[in-house]
């Protein structure tokens, strides 16, 4: 796809800059519309919901649009997996350069609750795939059974996350 290492690094830097700029615009529009900008925090959801058994659902193809949260990385990416700061540049660009060099990237790892997914590992890969227009991503999925809410009076993060 790209003839040299210089080219893949250049494309990766360019795309990261575009993602930063698009993310700023996306978050501004969400602010105007009074919509949330952050990924759902898996730990907050886990504390709020009564979760049951979990099992390994294996490797699946998952729609990136169905990935709504993250385990511990909600401060790095917004709800559309735009990077929130320049701190992610090096890692993001190394993933993008590998993608452009047509290297095989490992599947991301996800938890699945209902029809929503939370990233265990692979936030940067998801962001890069979104940047290049991918709609689906290969994922190793662990399904967790959602039983019922623990307490009806607690504010529960909705798993029906609307973008």
Separation CA 151–CA 160 (nearest Å) = 18
pLDDT in tens, 52-68: 899 999 999 999 999 99
Judge if pTM exceeds 0.85.
no
- Sequence-distant (≥ 6) Cβ neighbours of residue 162 within 8 angstroms: 35
CATH code given to domain 5-148 = 3.90.1530.10
- Min mean pLDDT across 46-50, 66-70, 140-144, 148-152 is at 148-152
Residue 127 pLDDT exceeds 80: yes
**Any idea where the domains of the chain sit in the sequence?**
5-148
């Amino acid at each position: 796809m790209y003839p040299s290492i210089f080219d893949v690094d250049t494309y990766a830097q360019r795309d990261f800059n575009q993602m930063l700029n698009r993310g700023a615009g996306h978050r501004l529009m969400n602010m105007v519309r009074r919509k949330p900008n952050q990924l759902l925090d898996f730990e907050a959801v886990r504390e709020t919901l009564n979760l049951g058994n979990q099992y390994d659902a294996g490797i699946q193809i998952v729609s990136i649009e169905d990935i709504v949260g993250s385990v511990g990385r909600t401060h790095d990416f917004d709800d559309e997996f735009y990077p929130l700061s320049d701190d992610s540049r090096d890692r993001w660009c190394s993933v993008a350069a590998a993608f452009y060099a047509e290297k095989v990237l490992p599947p991301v790892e996800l938890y699945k609750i209902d029809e929503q997914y939370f990233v265990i590992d692979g936030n940067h890969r998801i962001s890069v795939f979104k940047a290049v227009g991918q709609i689906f991503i290969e994922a190793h999925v662990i399904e967790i059974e959602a039983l019922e809410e623990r307490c009806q009076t607690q504010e529960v993060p909705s798993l029906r996350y609307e973008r």
